[in-house]
């Protein structure tokens, strides 16, 4: 492999985009408001586009001639490196928006830092993706505030979503031994910087939304190591269906 450390890093980014994009695609045609149906499809589309660029680059770093489709469709479950947060089922609209918000608040500072990466390819992908991510974060922040500070019912639903999803947020800042090498080479930022930014955004939006961080601060992890929840298998069954049922064909 050409650059295993960077490959692993880029694969994590690509899988996050892929799995969340896949999840959001489930909403298409079923959104609570036509305008939001369009917005969620739009975010899904952006994420699938990011996944294509990131997984293509991962394929290059891997050096075995794999393209984005080979990586997206032909791995086994324990080879996916997305954070557990992103494979969680959509649930209701509050849950989907909260999941997206917690992720966008992480992705935005990450891409901002990756703009300065000494790796030109990563910097280029970050530049293109940052514009999209800024818009996503704006959109989901507004919804979290609207739902949190809307009616009793929407507040309750938003709080339930936060309670459920908070347990998966620490994993976003997962960092390996090998990442430290990449950090010292100026290729990627340190996660502690990203977490500080993330906390600032999350705290201010949650406050405006009148939502409270759950007292139970138990945190799950595993996705980054290929240890996934029961949900991922079903997601992959849909995602991989065509490639598995009709192998080696062009579509």
Partner 1 sequence: MKTMDLQELEKRFQEKIDKEIKIEPNDWMPDEYRKTLIRQISQHAHSEIVGMLPEGNWITRAPNLRRKAVLLAKVQDEAGHGLYLYSSVETLGADREATIDDLHSGKAKYSSIFNYPAVTWADIGTIGWLVDGAAIMNQVALCRCSYGPYARGMVKICKEESFHQRQGFESLVTLCNGTPTQKAMAQDAMNRFWWPALMMFGPSDDESPNSAQSMKWKIKRFSNDELRQSFVDATVPQAEILGLTIPDPNLKWNEETGHYDFSPINWDEFWQVVNGNGPCNKERIEARTKAKEEGMWVREAAMAYAEKRALKKTA
Q: Is 9 exposed, middle or buried (0-12, 13-18, 19+ CB in 10 A)?
A: buried
Residue that the structure tokens 């340190």 belong to: 190
Cα dihedral 56, 59, 63, 66 in deg (nearest 10): -100
Q: Which of 58, 62, 146, 179 binds partner 1 (CB under 8 A)?
A: 146
Q: Which of 8, 13, 15, 22 binds partner 1 (CB under 8 A)?
A: 22
> Of 103-111, 118-126, 127-135, 240-248, which segment contacts partner 1 by CB under 8 A?
240-248
Site for partner 1 in 208-237 (CB under 8 A): 235
* DSSP for 97-160, written as a single string: HHHHHHHHHHHHHHHHHHTT-SSHHHHHHHHHHHHHHHHHHHHHHHHHHHHHTS-HHHHHHHHH
Distance CA 209, CA 111 (A): 25
Q: Which of 8, 9, 25, 188 binds partner 1 (CB under 8 A)?
A: 25
> Of 49-57, 109-117, 127-135, 185-193, which segment contacts partner 1 by CB under 8 A?
49-57
> Of 82-90, 103-111, 150-158, 199-207, which segment contacts partner 1 by CB under 8 A?
150-158
Q: Which of 177, 192, 215, 246 binds partner 1 (CB under 8 A)?
A: 246
- Of the candidates 201, 99, 96, 209, the one whose C-alpha atom is nearest the C-alpha of residue 149 is 209
Q: Which of 4, 116, 207, 238 binds partner 1 (CB under 8 A)?
A: 238
| Both structure tokens of 107 | 């992705």
Chain positions contacting partner 1, by CB under 8 A? 18, 22, 25-26, 28-38, 41-42, 44-45, 48-49, 51-52, 55, 68-69, 72-73, 92-93, 145-147, 149-151, 153-154, 157, 235, 238-239, 241-243, 246, 249-251
């Amino acid at each position: 492999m050409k650059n295993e450390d960077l490959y692993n890093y880029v694969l994590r980014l690509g899988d996050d985009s892929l799995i969340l994009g896949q999840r959001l695609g489930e909403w298409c045609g079923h959104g609570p408001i036509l305008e939001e149906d369009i917005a969620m499809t739009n975010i899904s589309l952006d994420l699938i586009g990011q996944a294509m660029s990131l997984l293509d680059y991962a394929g290059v770093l891997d050096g075995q001639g794999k393209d984005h489709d080979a990586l997206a469709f032909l791995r086994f479950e324990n080879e996916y490196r997305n954070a557990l947060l992103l494979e969680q089922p959509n649930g209701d609209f509050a849950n989907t928006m909260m999941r997206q918000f917690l992720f966008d608040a992480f992705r935005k500072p990450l891409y901002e830092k990756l703009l300065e990466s000494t790796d030109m390819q990563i910097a280029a992908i970050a530049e293109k993706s940052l514009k999209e991510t800024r818009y996503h974060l704006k959109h989901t922040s507004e919804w979290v505030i609207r739902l949190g500070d809307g009616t009793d019912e929407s507040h309750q639903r938003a709080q339930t979503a936060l309670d459920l999803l908070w347990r998966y947020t620490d994993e976003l800042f997962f960092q390996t031994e090998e990442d430290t090498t990449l950090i010292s080479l100026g290729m990627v930022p340190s996660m502690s910087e990203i977490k500080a930014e993330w906390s600032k955004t999350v705290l201010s939006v949650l406050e405006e939304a009148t939502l409270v961080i759950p007292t139970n601060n138990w945190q799950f992890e595993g996705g980054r190591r290929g240890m996934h929840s029961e949900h991922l298998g079903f997601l992959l069954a849909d995602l991989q269906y065509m490639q598995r049922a009709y192998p080696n064909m062009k579509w």
